[in-house]
């Protein structure tokens, strides 16, 4: 029954044909179960394991690599090759792809945990009336129409409509649905609000929420997927994980690169058709196969096999740094996504605030003899920890608050007229509440006031253990007084009273709504001398004014405290005794903002990140909090910047678009609204981060580009998020954003490094094929360069230092290419030099090296006809391993110099020297050592088809490698120099030919 909240009790009972005094019959239970379903959140059918595995290979670059590996394997079999060398290349490629697939499968499996943990919020049992008898049944057996009884501590087993109150009031903690710390008072009357949200449906008890006060009977109106908890689950199931900006750009660039690679491979094969019949190949077919192997080697060279592993490593390094900032990353790609976040939708309760009600202001009557009669105190401390200081109106600290008569009696009343508990949880290292947040706030106030008669107060209390300190003062008053009778809170009275005795002195303590308490007071307790004076009209007027200031301007939740001396023989009290009370004081409490939030939000604005506060609270309270934070001081008022969910939904589509661009505050929301907000912002090309801690936040956390859960939040929220803030601190998000931006900059640098290196390998093979000279590099040598000598420096580039202005620039655009047209040209130039230098090293050994044969260049180009001609040299010279060793060494060394170029995108090495990143220097040294190892250790040199080099060979390698730094310095100069703008603007025309088509559309 979808609209039970708007129906009267008789209408709902009649709909389900149930007698509220007897409940459903056994026959009706079976019928309703068949008609409406069972009270179970069914497990979603997961994708089979084999589908998850196959999904990891659904990438064009990966498919090309697999094809290259298989072709290499087949060609080795056709040629009759055996041993380790024949299958080394395809085996290594497949091992890398298998490792990446394993990481992907593990990540996707973890994402399903949010749905499993959602079931933890379902009740286990329920007290049900059936066939005239109450019995305790498993909650899964409930059906719509069942009559259920609930009481304090009960977890609501299904969505139910209240039909009977069995106590003065019923209050329910709905924080997991609404995120608000205050409990909600439930009632029987029908809800008439249009577009009612959870907070408006005061006659409905929602599945998974907890009763914190009172008893009631209710009729089940929704079970399983048809409950509020079920709708959250369905929303999570409908949410597809968003692809991160970096992943999108890498996919686009990969597609572009794959097409270029395919074209070059085909071109190389076609260019060499004339060589298919060369005698050295042994026939046309064998010649075609030979050059096909070269094309496959070209594909292997062009594709950066190590790129996924290096990206993952760099992101993992970032997660370690972020963990030190209390930001625990659950999804590696989200590290980078933070860097381009443009909007943070921040939950109010528990994120910007502490989610702990705290007494902030106290109003008492100082004296009834001189005006002004009332005075105001402020109280520090924003958590449930019994730590805080009380200040007078002038801001002076009260050394011993308990010496003040009103504060002393206020502490007595707060400790005795209270049914909550404050305790210390050693596992979490924090103080926790049991019961109403407002009552726990009063208990904390008692601890801050301290005890009378001790000059060492309050320092003596700090010597206690945290467990003892939690309620030491409260326990003191509970031991001093004996509770005789209690008048529970009721809706009509709006107050609670307790009769206590101490040494034959009987006192009635009362607390409640200020308008109710003050109207029943005839006298006041004066703080100055402890005297009791009549409550005059002038004093009453001042109290009303102070109450209006607390509740209106400062939006504090107010309670008034009073007492009455009773006859010493009275053992019970009635409602008639709640009159002629003596007013003690007024307290104003709130869920206070975190101290560091203001600076954090200002940092976001400086970084070009907009913050939207999202809350289920009412509009005025939320606006007041935003003013307290101080981050919205630039707004004259909240008109056109603050909307309730219903106000926003009523706007026409065009005005909604405009409102989204201005919005700073979104109130009275429920889970569907949060998800809707994220989707609407994403449609405006915003990169959205959503913070939250409750079950209600899970769908939006999952839908957002990056979901940020609080460390103290629910397991459901954490599982649906990409990142968890261990300290629940909004300020940690700012530090994480800065880290995310730095990680992206470093990621760009090592991607460019690897791409330029791979371009060099492609140029090397392509030029060698076009010139018709022997193969410069063997496939296993290419694999060594790609995986080891490229991978170590690329990873070390991830340690480049964070720019000083990283949080002073606007977020990068989502459609910003990882490698833009101008940068691609720069790295094409560098890559071309790398490839030409590698080929030059090969030719140098044959033509010019003293240790080489010093062949004429034409002989080198006609190597394949050597066996059919008379030559002055043996044909076996073309099988010598020296030239390919020189080529491979040139390729390794030139890429090490190129790694130094990537310390900065545009800054010269003179401005940012190599030692600014000692990890990079270390990786270059280690790479050279590893390369030297395979040259001079015999088993390794055989495996990689290399041979030791002489000193002259090494000098030639250095001469050919070093110019890459000079070339890149010139290109960096054009990037920095305004005179180079004309050149860059002219070149931009050709950007569109270099970038993928989708990139052009984004522009």
DSSP letters along 596-650, please? THHHHHHHHHHTT-EEEEE-SS-HHHHHHHHHHH-TTTT-S--TTTEEEHHHHHH
Distance between CA atoms of 256 and 119, rounded to whole angstroms?
A: 45
Distance between CA atoms of 125 and 130, rounded to whole angstroms?
A: 15
**Confidence at residue 241, expressed as pLDDT on a 0 to 100 scale:** 54
Pick the residue with more confidence: 69 or 475?
475
Q: In sequence order, what are the residues at sequence separation of 6 or more whose Cβ sits closer than 8 angstroms to the Cβ of residue 914? A: 900, 903, 920, 921
Distance between CA atoms of 482 and 498, rounded to whole angstroms?
A: 10
pLDDT in tens, 615-645: 887 888 788 888 877 667 777 777 888 899 8
**Confidence at residue 981, expressed as pLDDT on a 0 to 100 scale:** 45
Tokens of 388: 């805080």
Rounded to the nearest 10 degrees, the angle between the axes of helix 730-771 and helix 882-901 is: 150
pLDDT in tens, 342-353: 999 988 877 788
Nearest to 678 by CA among 666, 693, 689, 667: 689
The CA–CA distances, whole Å, from 384 to 28, 264, 440, 445, 476 equal 49, 68, 8, 9, 19
**Confidence at residue 442, expressed as pLDDT on a 0 to 100 scale:** 96
Q: Prior bond to 298 cis, omega within 30?
A: no
Q: Are 59 and 251 in contact (CB under 8 A)?
A: yes
Backbone angles phi, psi at 635, to 5 degrees: -90, 125
Residue 657: HSE in the Cβ half-sphere, 13 Å Cα cutoff? 5
Helix (H) or strand (E) holding 885: helix 882-901
Cβ neighbour number for residue 958 with a 10 Å cutoff:
13
Find which of 113-122, 218-227, 582-591, 713-722 is predicted with most confidence, using mean pLDDT. Answer: 582-591
Q: In sequence order, what are the residues at sequence separation of 6 or more whose Cβ sits closer than 8 angstroms to the Cβ of residue 474? A: 415, 418, 422, 443, 446, 447
For 166-307, strand residue ranges (E) read 170-173, 184-186, 204-205, 210-213, 216-222
Tokens of 962: 């070093």
Does residue 243 carry a pLDDT above 70?
no
Q: Are 960 and 837 in contact (CB under 8 A)?
A: yes
pLDDT in tens, 743-775: 777 777 777 787 788 788 888 887 887 787 887
Band the pLDDT of 1003: cuts 50, 70, 90: very low
**Confidence at residue 737, expressed as pLDDT on a 0 to 100 scale:** 83
Does residue 903 carry a pLDDT above 90?
no
Nearest to 601 by CA among 637, 628, 577: 628
Band the pLDDT of 985: cuts 50, 70, 90: very low
Burial class of residue 881, CB neighbours in 10 A (0-12, 13-18, 19+)? middle
**Confidence at residue 988, expressed as pLDDT on a 0 to 100 scale:** 45
**Confidence at residue 1002, expressed as pLDDT on a 0 to 100 scale:** 37
Does residue 993 carry a pLDDT above 50?
no
Nearest to 473 by CA among 494, 448, 495: 448
Q: In sequence order, what are the residues at sequence separation of 6 or more whose Cβ sits closer than 8 angstroms to the Cβ of residue 779? A: 72, 89, 296, 297, 300
Backbone angles phi, psi at 410, to 5 degrees: -65, -40
Q: Are 588 and 624 in contact (CB under 8 A)?
A: no
Nearest to 688 by CA among 670, 712, 663, 669: 663
**Confidence at residue 526, expressed as pLDDT on a 0 to 100 scale:** 95
Pick the residue with more confidence: 91 or 146?
146
**Confidence at residue 236, expressed as pLDDT on a 0 to 100 scale:** 60
Cβ neighbour number for residue 391 with a 10 Å cutoff:
16
Distance between CA atoms of 948 and 882, rounded to whole angstroms?
A: 8
**Confidence at residue 555, expressed as pLDDT on a 0 to 100 scale:** 79
Least confident segment among 33-42, 474-483, 879-888: 33-42
Does residue 424 carry a pLDDT above 50?
yes
The CA–CA distances, whole Å, from 126 to 39, 130, 135 equal 12, 12, 8
Coil, strand or helix at 969: helix
Radius of gyration of the chain (CA): 38
Any idea of the CA torsion for 303, 306, 309, 312, to the nearest 10 degrees?
Answer: -70
DSSP letters along 254-281, please? HHHHHHHHHHHHHHHHHHTGGGTT-GGG
**Confidence at residue 972, expressed as pLDDT on a 0 to 100 scale:** 85
Does residue 302 carry a pLDDT above 80?
no
Q: How are beta strands 170-173 and 210-213 bridged, if at all?
A: antiparallel
- pTM, full prediction: 0.62
pLDDT in tens, 356-415: 889 999 999 998 888 788 999 999 988 899 989 999 988 999 988 999 999 999 999 999
**Confidence at residue 515, expressed as pLDDT on a 0 to 100 scale:** 92
Q: In what order do the strands lie in the sheet with 133-138?
A: 133-138, 125-130, 147-150, 216-222, 159-165, 204-205
**Confidence at residue 368, expressed as pLDDT on a 0 to 100 scale:** 83
**Confidence at residue 554, expressed as pLDDT on a 0 to 100 scale:** 82
pLDDT in tens, 547-565: 999 988 787 889 999 999 9
Distance between CA atoms of 835 and 758, rounded to whole angstroms?
A: 9
Coil, strand or helix at 343: strand
Distance between CA atoms of 181 and 171, rounded to whole angstroms?
A: 12
Q: Please tell me the chain's helix, strand, coil percentages from 3-state DSSP, rounded to the nearest 5.
A: 55, 15, 30
Coil, strand or helix at 942: helix
Does residue 602 carry a pLDDT above 60?
yes
Nearest to 709 by CA among 699, 698, 697, 718: 718
Band the pLDDT of 88: cuts 50, 70, 90: low
| Angle subtended at Cα 185 by Cα 180 and Cα 187, rounded to the nearest 5 degrees | 140
pLDDT in tens, 909-919: 888 888 888 88
Q: For tokens 């060979």, what's the residue?
A: 953
Q: How are beta strands 374-379 and 390-391 bridged, if at all?
A: antiparallel
Band the pLDDT of 64: cuts 50, 70, 90: low
Mean of all residue pLDDT scores within the chain: 81
pLDDT in tens, 481-503: 999 999 988 878 889 999 999 98
CA diameter of the chain = 133
| Angle subtended at Cα 175 by Cα 172 and Cα 181, rounded to the nearest 5 degrees | 90
Mean pLDDT of 161-182: 80
Catalytic-labelled residue, pool 278, 347, 775, 864:
347
**Any catalytic annotation for residue 790?**
no
Tokens of 760: 């060099």
pLDDT in tens, 780-833: 777 677 766 676 787 788 777 766 666 777 787 766 666 677 777 887 899 899
**Confidence at residue 14, expressed as pLDDT on a 0 to 100 scale:** 92
**Confidence at residue 101, expressed as pLDDT on a 0 to 100 scale:** 65
pLDDT in tens, 436-464: 888 999 999 999 999 987 666 667 787 88
Q: Are 699 and 232 in contact (CB under 8 A)?
A: yes
Band the pLDDT of 84: cuts 50, 70, 90: low
Mean pLDDT of 932-950: 86
**Confidence at residue 796, expressed as pLDDT on a 0 to 100 scale:** 83
Find which of 182-186, 206-210, 919-923 is predicted with most confidence, using mean pLDDT. Answer: 919-923
Mean pLDDT of 938-942: 82
Band the pLDDT of 269: cuts 50, 70, 90: confident
Q: Are 408 and 476 in contact (CB under 8 A)?
A: no
Residue 62: HSE in the Cβ half-sphere, 13 Å Cα cutoff? 18
**Confidence at residue 983, expressed as pLDDT on a 0 to 100 scale:** 44
Mean pLDDT of 493-515: 93
């Amino acid at each position: 029954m979808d609209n039970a909240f708007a129906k009267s009790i008789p209408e709902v009972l009649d709909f389900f044909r149930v007698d509220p005094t007897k409940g459903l019959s056994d026959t009706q239970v079976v019928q309703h179960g068949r008609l409406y379903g069972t009270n179970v959140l069914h497990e979603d059918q997961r994708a089979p394991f084999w589908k998850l595995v196959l999904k990891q290979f659904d990438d064009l670059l990966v498919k090309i690599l697999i094809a290259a590996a298989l072709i290499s394997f087949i060609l080795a079999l056709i040629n009759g090759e055996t041993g380790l060398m024949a299958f080394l290349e395809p085996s290594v490629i497949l091992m890398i792809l298998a490792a990446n697939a394993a990481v992907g499968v593990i990540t996707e499996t973890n994402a399903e945990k949010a749905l499993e943990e959602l079931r933890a919020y379902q009740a286990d049992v329920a007290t049900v009336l059936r066939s005239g008898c109450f019995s305790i049944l498993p909650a899964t057996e409930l059906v719509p129409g069942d009559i259920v009884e609930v009481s304090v501590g009960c977890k609501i087993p299904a969505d139910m409509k209240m039909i009977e109150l069995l106590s003065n009031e019923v209050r329910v903690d709905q924080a997991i649905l609404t995120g608000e710390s205050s409990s909600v008072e439930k009632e029987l009357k029908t809800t008439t609000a249009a577009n009612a949200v959870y907070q408006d449906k005061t006659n409905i008890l929602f599945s998974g929420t907890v009763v914190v006060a009172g008893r009631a009977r209710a009729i089940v109106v929704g079970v399983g997927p048809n409950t509020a908890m079920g709708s959250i689950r369905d929303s999570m199931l409908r949410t597809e994980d968003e692809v991160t900006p970096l992943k999108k750009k890498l996919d686009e660039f990969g597609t572009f690169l794959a097409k270029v690679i395919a074209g070059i491979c085909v071109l190389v094969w076609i260019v060499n058709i004339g060589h298919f019949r060369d005698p050295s190949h042994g026939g046309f077919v064998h010649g075609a196969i030979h050059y096909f192997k070269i094309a496959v080697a070209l594909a292997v060279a062009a594709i950066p096999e190590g790129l996924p592993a290096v990206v993952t490593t760099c992101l993992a390094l970032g997660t370690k740094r972020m963990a030190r900032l209390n930001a625990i990353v659950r999804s590696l790609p989200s590290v980078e996504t933070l860097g381009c976040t443009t909007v943070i939708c921040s939950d109010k309760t528990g994120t910007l605030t502490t989610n702990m009600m705290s007494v902030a202001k106290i109003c008492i009557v100082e004296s009834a003899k001189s005006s002004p009669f009332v005075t105001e105190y402020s109280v520090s401390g924003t958590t449930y920890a019994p730590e805080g200081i009380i200040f007078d109106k002038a801001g002076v600290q009260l050394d011993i608050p308990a010496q003040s008569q009103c504060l002393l009696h206020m502490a007595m009343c707060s400790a005795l007229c209270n049914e909550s508990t404050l305790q210390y949880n050693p596992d979490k290292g924090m103080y926790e509440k049991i019961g109403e947040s407002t009552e726990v706030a009063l208990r904390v106030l008692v601890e801050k006031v301290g005890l009378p008669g001790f000059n060492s107060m309050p320092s003596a209390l700090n010597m206690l253990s945290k467990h003892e300190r939690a309620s030491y003062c409260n326990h003191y008053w509970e031991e001093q007084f004996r509770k005789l009778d209690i008048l529970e809170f009721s809706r009509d009275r709006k107050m609670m009273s307790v009769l206590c005795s101490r040494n034959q002195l009987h006192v009635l303590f009362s607390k409640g709504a200020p308008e109710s308490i003050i109207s029943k007071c005839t006298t006041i307790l004066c703080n100055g001398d402890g005297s009791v004076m009549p409550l005059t009209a002038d004093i009453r007027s001042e109290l009303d004014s102070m109450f209006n200031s607390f509740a209106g301007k400062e939006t504090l939740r107010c309670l008034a405290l009073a007492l009455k001396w009773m006859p010493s023989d009275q053992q019970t009290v009635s409602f008639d005794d709640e009159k002629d009370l003596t007013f003690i004081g007024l307290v104003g409490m709130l869920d206070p903002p975190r101290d560091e939030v203001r600076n954090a939000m200002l940092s976001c604005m400086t970084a070009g990140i907009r913050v939207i506060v999202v809350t289920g609270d009412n509009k005025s309270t939320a606006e007041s909090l935003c003013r307290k934070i101080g981050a919205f001081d630039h707004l004259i008022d909240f008109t056109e910047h603050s909307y309730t969910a219903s106000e926003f939904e009523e706007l026409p589509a065009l005005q909604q678009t405009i409102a989204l661009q201005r919005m700073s505050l979104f109130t009275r929301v429920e889970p569907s609204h949060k998800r809707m907000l994220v989707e609407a912002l994403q449609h405006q090309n915003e990169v959205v981060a959503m913070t939250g801690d409750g079950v209600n936040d899970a769908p939006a956390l999952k839908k957002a580009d990056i979901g940020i859960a609080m460390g103290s939040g629910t397991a459901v929220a954490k599982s649906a998020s990409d990142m968890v803030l261990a300290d629940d601190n909004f300020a940690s998000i700012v530090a994480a954003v800065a880290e995310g931006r730095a990680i992206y900059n470093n990621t760009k640098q090592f991607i460019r490094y690897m791409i330029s290196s791979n371009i060099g390998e492609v140029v090397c093979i392509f030029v060698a094929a076009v010139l018709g000279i022997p193969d410069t590099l063997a496939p296993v040598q290419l694999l060594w360069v790609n995986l080891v000598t490229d991978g170590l420096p690329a990873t070390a580039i991830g340690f480049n230092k964070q720019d000083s202005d990283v949080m002073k620039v606007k977020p990068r655009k989502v459609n910003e290419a990882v490698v833009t047209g101008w940068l691609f040209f720069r790295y094409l130039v560098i890559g071309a030099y790398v490839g030409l230098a590698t080929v030059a090293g090969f030719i140098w050994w044959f033509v010019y090296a003293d240790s080489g044969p010093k062949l004429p260049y034409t002989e080198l180009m006609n190597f394949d006809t050597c066996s059919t001609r008379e030559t002055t040299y043996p044909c076996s010279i073309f099988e010598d391993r020296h030239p390919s060793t020189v080529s491979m060494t040139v390729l390794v060394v030139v890429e090490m110099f190129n790694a130094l170029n990537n310390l900065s995108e545009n800054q010269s090495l003179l401005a940012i020297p190599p030692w600014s990143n000692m990890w990079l220097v270390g990786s270059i040294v280690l790479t050279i050592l590893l390369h030297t190892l395979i040259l001079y250790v015999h088993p390794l040199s055989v495996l990689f088809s290399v041979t030791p080099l002489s000193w002259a060979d090494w000098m030639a390698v250095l001469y050919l490698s070093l110019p890459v730094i000079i070339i890149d310095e010139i290109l960096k100069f054009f990037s920095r120099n305004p005179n180079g703008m004309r050149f860059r603007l002219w070149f931009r025309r050709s950007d569109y030919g270099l970038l993928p088509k989708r990139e052009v559309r984004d522009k």
